[in-house]
Amino acid sequence: MGSFDNKTYRNVFKEIGKTQEEIDAKIKEAVDTFFYDEKERIYHPAGDDMGYLVDTGNNDARTEGMSYGMMMCVQLDMKEEFDRIWKWAKTFMYMEDGDNEGYFAWSCQLDGTKNAYGPAPDGEEFFAMALFFASHRWGDGEGIYNYSKQAQDILRACLHKGENGRVGDPMWNRDNGQILFVPGSPYTDPSYHLPHFYELFALWAYEEDREFFKKAATVSRKYLVSACHPETGLNPEYGNFDGTPMDEKLPWGQFGDFFSDAYRTAANIGLDAEWFGVDEGQLGVPLKAMKFFGTDLEAVRCAYKVDGTPLERPVLHPVGLVSTIAQSALSVPYSEDPDSDFAVAAKWVNWFWNQPLRKGERRYYDNCLYLFALLALSGNYRIW
């Protein structure tokens, strides 16, 4: 039974001995830095009523970060910032015509000019979920602030593009129920599989779409079992529909290894364990990864094949990796036994607790994952 049923949320920081005062102070410091610190902020207000999150390594705004920012804001009860980010996304990223009508351009310059006219499905997933939560926490408004309708319309596009004369391709493979790396692609991204979101989409999407999302939740949980190595628990950035790494060399690189995108999978499994606790075999995956990396943080300094073979490639986002593995501790039941699985997970939570926000050019992705882990491990990443 998860939080959806019992309405309670674990505070893993308290479980490892931190006080509520320490936890509240740590969250406040991170939020202040992420949203408001003039030197280190990721969020920036724009004009009178808009704002964006900047990918500091690429100097652009991405649907990944924009939708992440909205999720953070609804969890933190920051309605002004939420509305600013959403208006910027809807104004500059939303596409009203062409094959990708109904989707959001995955990358824009900071003045709103589109860098690309293709979407990245993880953005649409997080936009929709954050909008549903905003509807339930703050109530629906008018126009683009009619949050629930905006969410339902996004999901309708994701499922029904290409049908009934609507041009383009859907973001889900309607035959196998898996989310795609991009619309029309013959492969997926394991870190895009969010069964805990799909359970809620199955309740709140347009009625005709609910059955699909209910099935998609089960499909994704089973997919994650096949995508994560049975011994190491590691998964590739891009995966074939059967769970094997998508090792084909693409024009923009090879993505069949455990690298940046792949880190999010363990965190997603942790949150799914917290919210729903439905186990198709995927809830045991994060502990395998924790044990693979062992007790030496130096093990997270390079990339790996999913079978654990180290590669001559340094980790680009070490703070993000530690953050996501720590968040996955939500999949490990609490125990006071010093020889228990929770004792293994607690080491990662302690490592994360002692890890500051990243500074410098590459801080965007790391600090997004850091803030999510901070919310999740303190019981503040909730279903609204």
Active-site residue list: 64, 261
Determine which helix (DSSP H) or strand (DSSP E) holds 314, and give its type and residue range: strand 310-314
- Sequence-distant (≥ 6) Cβ neighbours of residue 336 within 8 angstroms: none
Length of the chain: 384
How many of the other CB atoms lie within 10 Å of CB of 140?
A: 14
Q: What ranges in the chain are assigned the alpha helix state H?
A: 3-6, 12-15, 20-35, 63-76, 79-88, 121-138, 147-160, 195-204, 207-227, 264-275, 285-293, 318-327, 341-353, 363-377
**E strand or H helix at 313, and its extent?**
strand 310-314
Residue 237: both structure tokens together: 């950035």
Instruction: Give the tokens for residue 180.
Output: 């795609």
